[in-house]
Amino acid sequence: MQFIETRGNDGVKPAAVTFSEAILSPSASFGGLYVPTDIPTIDNAFLTKHLESHYKTLALDFLTAFGIDIEKEVIEAALSRYDAFDDPQNPVPLSEIETDCCVSELYHGPTRAFKDMALQPFGYILSKLAQQRGENYLIMAATSGDTGPATLETFKNQPNVKVACLYPEGGTSDVQRLQMVTEDASNLKVIGVKGNFDDTQNTLKALLASDDFKEELAARNIKLSAANSVNFGRIIFQIIYHIHSYLEMVRCGKITMGEKIYLVVPSGNFGNALGGYYAKQAGLPIEKILISSNENNILTDWIEKGEYDLNGRELVLTESPAMDILKSSNIERIMYDKFGAARTKVLMEALADEGRFVLTDEERAAIQEDFAASWSDDSECENEIARYVKKGYMMDPHTATCIKAYETLRDNPLPTVIYSTAEWTKFSPTVAKALGHPVKGDIEALTWVSGHAHVSVPPMIRGLFEKPIVHTVVVEKEGIKEEMLRFL
Ligand SMILES: *Cc1c(COP(=O)(O)O)cnc(C)c1O
């Protein structure tokens, strides 16, 4: 299996690269993204074969069919990271919330957000490749929430990789901040930045673009990689849980093999939805993928109106912060798949130069063959959280955006899987507010909600409040480079 670029090839860089090259150096030559030339088929025979399989068995078989250049033993060791999830037999359990709707819970890993699903095995593989090649990598992340903890967790004490994670001081929840600043390993550095998330992200971008920082890295023999969802090494693991969720629906009798279902995906950078799209293209019986957003509803416009327009839009800070995104990277991979490289280049360059692009009617219709979209504001989400707690199911604010999509976007009354991307414990003050008991801090909210709604707080969240804080550095934007060099 080879990987090519969404914006075509410039004739200078290699026309195609292997999986390991695509994940070690994810930046392609025209600023595009790497995509696979082909996806293995997911047909009835494949699904039937795995009806009784363990998650890891399914994953290994799918990754083997993909033909990636990673040894079987390495893939197996990477997949064994799922053994640390709540139930090693089933890392992604399904819960029924309506007779025709189940929630597939992607958050049963170490940091209680769905980022673990991909980052856990990905981190193992990236470190292993670096060791095999005798190379050293630096991963830098700017985070407002879930990516930071999951990136630190996966690379903790892994050889040949260092991680530096920048977060806006005061811009994360207590739980998210503690997940980062208590993460103790010599290859990890966490730096608080005075400013908001935009300041943090811009500081990181400026640092990564600066020539003298690049020289400093070269002098230390350190290469840069990335662990965000532009890296296909994350996407590949996000195809698998869609197959698993389908099989779970068959196992629990909601559907018979071959019957179509809807998926509802709470989306930001569109990695989760892209995994579902690839699964659908490969043959998984999916009617449509329903995209849910919060007030930053630019994906709704893209899918419903065929227009993507950043002009006049300001990022709104919502109660589902992991979806507070305006530039959604992975739609580029969808457009490449549908419209080809030349058109994708035109559209993405228009977005960069003019802040917008508009699809033709035929192009919009092509997107709508696979997707529909809607969005919910914070108060709608709070209402859904409260309504489902009464029915006996606790969901986080990101998951709550899915309910409207499930209720309004289905053309056919087919069974539906909603993806839950975070455990409520990561956003407990919002949940407490939704249940009519606003409190200040996370610890009060966790205690009140768990008592009120009879839900437990897992040990890795409770334990955070007793763990020693090891990363205390908070700097002005100007001070980041010096901190970084000290760390390296
Ligand atoms: C990252 C994240 C999302 C968005 O996922 P994408 O793959 O970027 O669309 C949604 N919910 C939570 C809780 C997340 O952490």
Query: Which of 155-169, 184-198, 296-310 is predicted with the least confidence, judged by mean pLDDT?
Result: 184-198
Q: What is the pLDDT of residues 110-160, one digit of tens each?
A: 999 999 999 999 999 999 999 999 999 999 988 877 889 999 999 999 999
Q: How high is the mean pLDDT of the chain?
A: 94
The rounded distance, in Å, linking the Cα atoms of 466 and 439 is: 20
- Protein residues whose CB sits closer than 6 Å to any atom of ligand 1: 113-115, 146, 229, 266-273, 322-323, 398, 421-422
Cβ neighbours of residue 196 closer than 8 Å, sequence gap 6 or more: 168, 171
283 domain-assigned: yes
Whether the predicted pLDDT of 404 surpasses 70: yes
19 domain-assigned: no
The rounded distance, in Å, linking the Cα atoms of 376 and 420 is: 15
> Which residue, judged by its Cα, is nearest atom 7 of ligand 1?
271
Query: Which of 54-58, 82-86, 230-234 is predicted with the least confidence, judged by mean pLDDT?
Result: 230-234
Which pLDDT value is given to residue 110? 97
3-state secondary structure 450-466: HHHHCCCCCHHHHHHHC
Q: What is the pLDDT of residues 77-89, one digit of tens each?
A: 999 999 999 999 9
Please report which confidence band the pLDDT of residue 28 belongs to, taking 50, 70 and 90 as the band edges: low
Name which residue leads in pLDDT, 11 or 350: 350
**Four-residue CA torsion sign, 342, 344, 346, 352:** negative
Q: How many domains does the chain have?
A: 1
> Which residue, judged by its Cα, is nearest atom 14 of ligand 1?
322
The rounded Å distance from CA 465 to ligand 1 centre is 25
414 domain-assigned: yes
156 domain-assigned: no
The rounded distance, in Å, linking the Cα atoms of 237 and 242 is: 10
Amino acid identity, position 160: N
The rounded Å distance from CA 104 to ligand 1 centre is 14
Long-range contacts of 94-101 (CB under 8 A, 24+ apart): 94/245, 94/248, 94/249, 94/252, 94/417, 95/393, 96/252, 96/254, 97/388, 97/391, 97/393, 97/418, 98/406, 100/254, 100/413, 100/414, 100/415, 100/416, 101/406, 101/415, 101/416, 101/417, 101/418
Where residue 417 sits, what CATH number does that domain have? 3.40.50.1100
Please report which confidence band the pLDDT of residue 52 belongs to, taking 50, 70 and 90 as the band edges: very high
Instruction: Say if residues 194 and 475 touch (Cβ distance below 8 Å).
Output: yes
Query: Which of 63-67, 203-207, 295-299 is predicted with the least confidence, judged by mean pLDDT?
Result: 203-207
Mutate to test the pocket of ligand 1, among 272, 299, 420, 426 (most ligand atoms within 8 A of CB): 272
The rounded Å distance from CA 161 to ligand 1 centre is 24
Mutate to test the pocket of ligand 1, among 267, 299, 419 (most ligand atoms within 8 A of CB): 267
Range of the domain at 330: 92-112+233-458
Amino acid identity, position 252: C
The rounded Å distance from CA 267 to ligand 1 centre is 6
